């Protein structure tokens, strides 16, 4: 199974378990930082998030919510269905970022300093010879 097939299969599996009750949205500490989510019905936001997992467009509030996710994990124990809601949110965020080849629907951060950071960290851990050969 490819990674894309796995993401799609896990999306469908979790979307099938989710009742869109909104418990995870109510528990989430990031809703004040997601445009439109504070004023929205939590169940409607969860419905939109679940729609993303079912290849749907989601809703503006759902997209704002999944974009704001910082992986606190507080949503998981709040789920009455015992779903790993944090993982489901992660999948929804990947989907919204275009993980399956679609155009991104939320901002995708690119760290332009990623390579310099890796090299700086490597210089702390590699020998002079390893640095000369590998960096």
Would residue 73 be called left, alpha or beta, if left means φ above 0 and alpha means ψ between -120 and 50 degrees? left
Please, which residue, 23 or 58, has the CB nearer to ligand SF4? 23
Q: Could you list the residues that contact ligand SF4 (CB under 6 A)? A: 18-24, 46, 78-79, 81, 83, 85, 88
Give min distance, CB of 26 to ligand SF4, in A: 8
In the complex, the smallest distance separating the C-beta of residue 43 from ligand SF4, rounded to whole angstroms, is: 7
Instruction: Name the residue nearer to ligand SF4 (CB basis): 40 or 79.
Output: 79
Choice between 47 and 129, CB closer to ligand SF4: 47
Q: How far is the CB of 62 from ligand SF4 (least distance, A)?
A: 11
Residue pair 59/35 in contact (Cβ under 8 Å)? The answer is no
> Could you tell me the two tokens for 109?
């951060």
Distance, in Å, from the CA atom of 126 to the CA atom of 49, rounded to the nearest integer, reads 44
Q: Phi and psi at residue 2, in whole multiples of 5°?
A: -75, 165
């Amino acid at each position: 199974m490819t990674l894309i097939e796995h993401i799609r299969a896990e999306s469908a599996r979790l979307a099938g378990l989710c009742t869109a009750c909104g418990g995870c949205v109510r528990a989430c500490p990031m809703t004040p930082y997601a445009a439109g989510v504070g004023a929205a019905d939590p169940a409607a936001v969860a419905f939109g998030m679940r729609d993303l997992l079912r290849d749907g467009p989601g809703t503006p509030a759902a997209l704002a919510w999944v974009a704001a996710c910082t992986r606190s994990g507080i949503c998981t124990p709040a789920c009455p269905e015992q779903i790993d809601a944090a993982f489901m949110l992660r999948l929804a965020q990947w989907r919204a970022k275009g993980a399956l080849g679609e155009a991104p629907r939320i901002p995708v951060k690119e760290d332009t300093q990623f390579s310099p950071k890796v090299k700086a960290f490597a210089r702390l851990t590699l020998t002079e010879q390893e640095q000369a050969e590998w960096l």
